[in-house]
């Protein structure tokens, strides 16, 4: 059976690219489909602003006319200029359902050849346009269901990529932290001391209408925090991208689990979390209409897990207890809503301090993701 790699050039090809994972992962209980409305916009050059500053190619692998694999190649020109690196990325690599080393090799070799033609000297992945997209293959924790914005790949995929000469670039750790019934006295003292001093104001929200005016300032602060912290793969978002990100997440964000801190009129800290709604996304098959959104909302209301998405503190305000101020408020909201555990999302392996705090709170490492790299 002959294998053929072709670039995605038509709407029909793009639909096949988007639809492939559902067929390959059919029957896998821990795989979660994307929200297909968002997925179509994400891969559409006219609807995703990242295409304006990225060189992008999509490829499909066909065996005897049947689609058996896919991959995306990205050169983020803005990131490369900002970081001063000739770097290309691969993402959304799929092949299967069985081990498919030939398909994976053919797809990655196509990305590598394209990247070399563009003058790139290194390829990393899996990675999307920005660090807001899924990043890193799952390498531990396959027994756990995927969360929003993370990969859930086949167990054999990392080994297959490593056999092609790819090596670890960075690992991300994900912890599951129990929601405590009582707070340690130490944290409560810090929380009350900061509140009494009155230098910082904790913002909490009861409705999306109340939250909406704060979204843009929080995303602007995220830009500043992530640049200052040299977050892996991060490039500052422009105003249009911040607006897109707000529109993308506001419908699923529960205002109760967004916390922000202001010092006077300045935003200096934030945490964003959402109830785990993946069971509803599975039942809806990733489709919002006609009744999928009701399944997703129902799952969010019944969820016992709170998924942390974003967080940051202004560099000049770090080490002053703002993490405790927001953390205690977040846990109180989680307790009131009946949550039992929190998923911490990706945490860089090198961030030993934060990982140590998670472990002090009883966090258990339950997933690991790995981004790979290869010189070209």
pLDDT digits 0-9 by tens, 96-141: 888 999 999 999 999 999 999 999 999 999 999 988 899 999 999 9
Please give the structure tokens belonging to residue 133.
């997209």
This prediction's pTM = 0.93
Q: According to the model, what pLDDT value does residue 198 have?
A: 87
Contact 148, 307 (CB under 8 A): yes
Angle at 277 between CA 153 and CA 173, to 5 degrees: 45
pLDDT digits (tens, 9 = 90+) for 295-343: 999 999 999 999 999 899 999 999 899 999 999 999 999 999 999 999 9
Element (DSSP H or E) covering residue 375: strand 364-375
The band of 351, judged by pLDDT with boundaries at 50, 70 and 90, is: confident
Contact 359, 99 (CB under 8 A): no
- Strand 364-375, strand 137-140: pairing: antiparallel
Question: What residues form DSSP beta bridges with 240?
Answer: none
Q: What φ, ψ does residue 151 adopt, rounded to 5°? A: -75, 150
Does a cis peptide bond (omega within 30 degrees of 0) precede residue 97? yes
Fold matches, 3-171 and 180-339: yes
In sequence order, which residues have a C-beta less than 8 Å from that of residue 35 and are 6 or more positions away? 281, 286, 288
- Strand 137-140, strand 122-125: pairing: unpaired
pLDDT digits (tens, 9 = 90+) for 6-24: 999 999 999 999 999 999 9
Which among 172, 182, 177 has a CA at the least distance from the CA of 363? 177
Contact 169, 302 (CB under 8 A): no
**271 has pLDDT over 90:** yes
For the chain, how many residues are written?
376
**If DSSP codes are grouped into helix, strand and coil, which group holds residue 97?**
coil
Question: What residues form DSSP beta bridges with 5?
Answer: 61
N- to C-terminal Cα distance for the chain? 29
Write down the H helix ranges in the chain.
11-24, 36-42, 77-83, 101-117, 157-162, 185-197, 208-228, 239-249, 278-284, 292-302, 322-337, 352-360
The band of 160, judged by pLDDT with boundaries at 50, 70 and 90, is: very high
Query: For helices 239-249 and 208-228, what crossing angle results, to 10°?
Result: 130
Contact 31, 96 (CB under 8 A): no
* Candidates 3.40.50.300, 3.30.565.10, 3.40.50.720, 3.40.630.30; CATH matching 180-339: 3.40.630.30
Mean pLDDT, the chain, rounded, equals 93
Which among 175, 148, 234 has a CA at the least distance from the CA of 354? 175
The band of 241, judged by pLDDT with boundaries at 50, 70 and 90, is: confident
Which among 129, 135, 127, 80 has a CA at the least distance from the CA of 241? 129
Q: Does 3-171 carry CATH code 1.10.260.40?
A: no
Q: What φ, ψ does residue 365 adopt, rounded to 5°? A: -65, 120
Q: Show me where the domains of the chain are located.
A: 3-171, 180-339
pLDDT digits (tens, 9 = 90+) for 23-74: 999 999 999 999 999 999 999 999 999 999 999 999 999 999 999 999 999 9
Query: For helices 322-337 and 185-197, what crossing angle results, to 10°?
Result: 110
Q: According to the model, what pLDDT value does residue 72 have?
A: 98
Q: According to the model, what pLDDT value does residue 1 have?
A: 65
pLDDT digits (tens, 9 = 90+) for 169-187: 999 999 999 999 887 788 8
Distance CA 221, CA 69 (A): 39
Token match 């988007």: residue?
A: 18
Please give the structure tokens belonging to residue 351.
């961030």
**248 has pLDDT over 80:** no
pLDDT digits (tens, 9 = 90+) for 60-81: 999 999 999 999 999 999 999 9
**235 has pLDDT over 90:** no
Torsion of CA 6, 8, 13, 19, to 10 degrees: 100
Which among 145, 93, 144, 140 has a CA at the least distance from the CA of 369? 140
């Amino acid at each position: 059976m002959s294998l053929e790699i072709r670039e995605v050039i038509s709407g029909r090809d793009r639909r096949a690219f988007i639809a492939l994972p559902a067929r390959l992962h059919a029957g896998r209980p821990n795989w979660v489909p994307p929200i297909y409305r968002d997925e179509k916009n994400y891969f559409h050059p006219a609807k995703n602003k990242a295409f304006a500053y990225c060189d992008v190619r999509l490829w499909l692998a066909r065996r005897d006319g049947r689609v058996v694999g896919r991959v995306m190649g990205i050169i983020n020109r803005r990131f490369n200029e900002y970081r001063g690196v000739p770097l290309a990325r691969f993402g959304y690599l799929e092949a299967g359902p069985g081990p498919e080393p030939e398909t994976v090799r053919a797809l990655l070799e196509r990305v590598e050849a394209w990247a070399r033609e563009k003058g790139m000297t290194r390829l990393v992945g899996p990675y999307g346009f920005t660090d807001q997209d899924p990043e890193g293959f799952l390498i531990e924790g396959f027994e756990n269901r995927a969360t929003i914005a993370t990969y859930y790949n086949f167990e054999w995929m990392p080994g297959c990529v490593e056999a092609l000469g790819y090596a670890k670039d960075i690992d991300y750790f994900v912890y599951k932290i129990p929601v405590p019934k009582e707070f340690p006295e130490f944290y409560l003292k810090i929380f009350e001391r900061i509140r009494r001093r009155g230098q910082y104001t904790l913002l909490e929200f009861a409705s999306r209408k109340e939250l909406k005016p704060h979204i843009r300032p929080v995303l602007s602060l995220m830009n500043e925090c992530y640049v200052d912290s040299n977050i892996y793969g991060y490039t500052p978002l422009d105003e249009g991208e911040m607006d897109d990100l707000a529109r993308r997440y506001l419908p699923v964000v529960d205002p109760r689990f967004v916390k922000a801190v202001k010092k006077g009129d300045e935003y200096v800290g934030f945490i964003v979390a959402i109830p785990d709604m993946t069971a509803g996304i599975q039942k809806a098959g990733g489709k919002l209409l006609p009744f999928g959104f009701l399944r997703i909302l129902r799952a969010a209301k019944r969820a016992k897990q709170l998924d942390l998405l974003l967080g940051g503190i202004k560099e000049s305000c770090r080490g002053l207890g703002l993490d405790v101020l927001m953390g205690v408020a977040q846990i109180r909201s989680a307790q009131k809503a009946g949550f039992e555990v929190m998923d911490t999302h990706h945490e860089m392996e090198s961030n030993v301090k934060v990982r140590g705090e998670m472990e002090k709170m009883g966090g258990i490492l339950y997933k690991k993701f790995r981004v790979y790299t290869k010189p070209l």
